[in-house]
Homo-oligomer: A and B are copies of this chain.
């Protein structure tokens, strides 16, 4: 318990790659494949075989059999590692276009959207992607009674911190933050911030630097 260092988790880059393995493996499973070798797997994913081997080692204990990976078993192992076997009780706050898009997408493993909340009375009672929209006044009660673990924040930035403070007080363990604001939370609570402008920066910088490489020469 005392060595709950932030490092014990494993390699973040590998963890972020796991969903792609999962998707690919599910495709193999659909095709009826039972065994997949790291070499063929790596070709499909366009990653190096060694990357595949290393990444898969963090989800399943090394085995002595050296005859490819079991498709179904590896799917299970990844889901277990990510805690996606039993989707966590999740709510979404802020049913704007972005929030709606997430609710309708509906294919996120690992989260179980129990309800969504919005301050606009006009949205009350709507059902988006099979998830009903409730008024903010019901938030505290809902979070407490359903032991909500993850809250997806798709509100305007202004109210993000205030809502976060409430959520944390009521027991939410993690916030998936799609607002433009950085959130402060106590230890033991996680914020996963998705920042689209980071991706855009990467994109435009690459375009520019591949084209005119006319650096400031002075």
> Which A positions have Cβ atoms within 8 angstroms of B?
4, 8-10, 12, 15-20, 23, 46, 61, 81-84, 88, 96-98, 100-101, 104-105, 107-111, 149-150, 173-174, 176, 180, 182, 188, 190, 192, 194-211, 213, 216, 218
Name the contact of A19 in the complex, choosing from B10, B97, B197 (C-beta under 8 A): B197
Contact, CB under 8 Å: B104 / A9: no
- Bound Cα distance A109, B194 (Å): 17
User: Please, could you name 7 A-B residue pairs with CB atoms under 8 Å apart, sorted by A?
Assistant: A4-B213, A8-B209, A15-B205, A17-B198, A81-B208, A98-B98, A111-B204
- Bound Cα distance A20, B211 (Å): 25
Query: Which residues of B sit under 8 angstroms from A192, Cβ to Cβ?
Result: 199-200, 202-203, 206
Q: What distance in Å separates the Cβ of A145 from its nearest Cβ neighbour in chain B?
A: 20
Contact, CB under 8 Å: A205 / B100: no
Query: Which residues of B sit under 8 angstroms from A111, Cβ to Cβ?
Result: 200, 204
Query: Which residues of B sit under 8 angstroms from A84, Cβ to Cβ?
Result: 204
Contact, CB under 8 Å: B216 / A12: no
Contact, CB under 8 Å: A173 / B207: yes
CB closest chain-B residue, reference A107: B180
Name the contact of A9 in the complex, choosing from B107, B197, B205 (C-beta under 8 A): B205
Q: What distance in Å separates the Cβ of A217 from its nearest Cβ neighbour in chain B?
A: 10
Query: Which residues of B sit under 8 angstroms from A88, Cβ to Cβ?
Result: 204, 207
- Bound Cα distance A4, B213 (Å): 9
Contact, CB under 8 Å: A101 / B96: yes
Query: Which residues of B sit under 8 angstroms from A83, Cβ to Cβ?
Result: 204-205, 207-208
Q: What distance in Å separates the Cβ of A52 from its nearest Cβ neighbour in chain B?
A: 15
Query: Which residues of B sit under 8 angstroms from A17, Cβ to Cβ?
Result: 198
Contact, CB under 8 Å: A203 / B150: yes
Query: Which residues of B sit under 8 angstroms from A61, Cβ to Cβ?
Result: 216, 218
